[in-house]
Amino acid sequence: MSLSVRLQHDLPDLKLDLSFDAPSGVTVLFGRSGSGKTTVVNAVAGLLRPKAGRVAVDGWELFDTEKNHWLPPHRRRLGYIFQEGRLFPHLTVQQNLSYGRWFAPKRARRENPSKVIEMLGIGHLLDRRPAVLSGGEKQRVAIGRALLASPRLILADEPLAALDDARKAEILPYFERLRDEVSVPILYVTHSAAEVARLATSVVALQDGKAVRHGPASEVMADPSVAPAGVRAVGAVLKVRVQQHHSDGLTELDAGGARLFLPRIPHQVGEELRIRIPAQEVILSSKRPEGLSALNMLEGSVDTIRAGDGPGAIVSVQTPAGPVLARVTRRSVEALGLEPGKPCFAVIKTVALAPQDVGGRLTAP
């Protein structure tokens, strides 16, 4: 499965002109609000008719303005998960779930309703109406409704943006399961770096209607040019394995042979995870530091130094755990004499690794 998008469209305050090809898995459209993310998704869904372009899912054309080809939304076989859920208020949860399934061609009905209901944990809600559901429950039902339409492509437009942090933490794992257990490509819109780190197979960074960067999450999120989406967004994504839970409330992780400590996380020993390390939480040292309270220290060598317009610079350090990014001042770069190839230590404060930056499992333990 692959998704191919080429779009040109003029909005009152935005000129959209972009193209990208996404592999299977989760493709995240990442950018500030107003960068054109929702416009792209709505054009893919057929809710908005762009000036020019072409969108194809696995070679199947949804539209091509050059050929004057345009499939109406209801024939595109999509599962669109909206920010506000958009459940039908006059139908029960069960009827909402069956809605898309009823319109799907019989031979295309892949998903087993009872399996999906169990996966989303909504079995006890089936007879209720959307008005009495909590925000998190509504969004789980919305995911189920989209999935049971047996779509060829799932679209999700900031599905967590309307939820508080606790509800976000409740819903994110379901998207991870969707990615890992369902073989449908997902186009996911967000402006949250944490969601990108946890979900993305590949990332398309949008800025003012242009795709400024496109590639695997670890590369795109490490690029200072996506910083306009927020300096906080810059950070490395590391693959780790849960090693041990310690009695003092810490969890020990193995990152390519190096040890990392986190405040206790719920994952089982042996599980593989990805964690995001925000660049602004990393300190660099040219010598092995002593007498520091920080537990996490990765030895490596400087790979690249990218200075921006301001006083800051993003230093990429090659470590056994993978590339780690640090946001330091240019003055520090000079003071430490940092240059490509120079050995150095990256120090990460343990409590800086927030739970929302810890992703679900990549593989079964």
Interface residues with another protein (CB under 8 A) are: 45-47, 72-80, 82, 84, 86, 88-90, 99-100, 103-104, 129-132, 145-146, 149, 155
Backbone angles phi, psi at 30, to 5 degrees: -120, 130
Token reading at 65? 């303005």
CB of 62 to another protein, least distance (A): 12
CB of 55 to another protein, least distance (A): 14
Pairing of strands 14-22, 60-64: unpaired
Length, in residues, of the chain: 365
Contact present, 11 and 39 (Cβ < 8 Å): yes
What is the residue-wise DSSP string for 114-125? Answer: HHHHHHHT-GGG
The answer for residues whose C-beta is within 8 angstroms of residue 245's C-beta and 6 or more apart is 251, 252, 264, 269
CB of 346 to another protein, least distance (A): 45
Backbone angles phi, psi at 217, to 5 degrees: -55, -45
Q: Which is nearer to another protein, 77 or 267 (CB)?
A: 77
Contact present, 345 and 290 (Cβ < 8 Å): no
d(CA 36, CA 329): 32
Q: Which is nearer to another protein, 161 or 169 (CB)?
A: 161
CB of 157 to another protein, least distance (A): 11
Q: Which is nearer to another protein, 145 or 167 (CB)?
A: 145
Q: Which is nearer to another protein, 144 or 209 (CB)?
A: 144
CB of 127 to another protein, least distance (A): 12
CB of 147 to another protein, least distance (A): 11
Q: Which is nearer to another protein, 33 or 363 (CB)?
A: 33
Contact present, 22 and 6 (Cβ < 8 Å): no
Picking from 23, 22, 60, the residue whose alpha carbon sits closest to that of residue 211 is 22
Pairing of strands 186-190, 153-157: parallel
Q: Categorise residue 249: left if φ over 0, alpha if ψ from -120 to 50, beta otherwise.
A: left
Amino acid residing at 68? N
CB of 110 to another protein, least distance (A): 14
Q: Which is nearer to another protein, 119 or 149 (CB)?
A: 149
Q: Which is nearer to another protein, 37 or 145 (CB)?
A: 145
CA dihedral 261→227→34→46, nearest 10 degrees, is -70
Q: Which is nearer to another protein, 154 or 325 (CB)?
A: 154
The answer for residues whose C-beta is within 8 angstroms of residue 261's C-beta and 6 or more apart is 246, 250, 251, 252, 253, 295, 296, 350
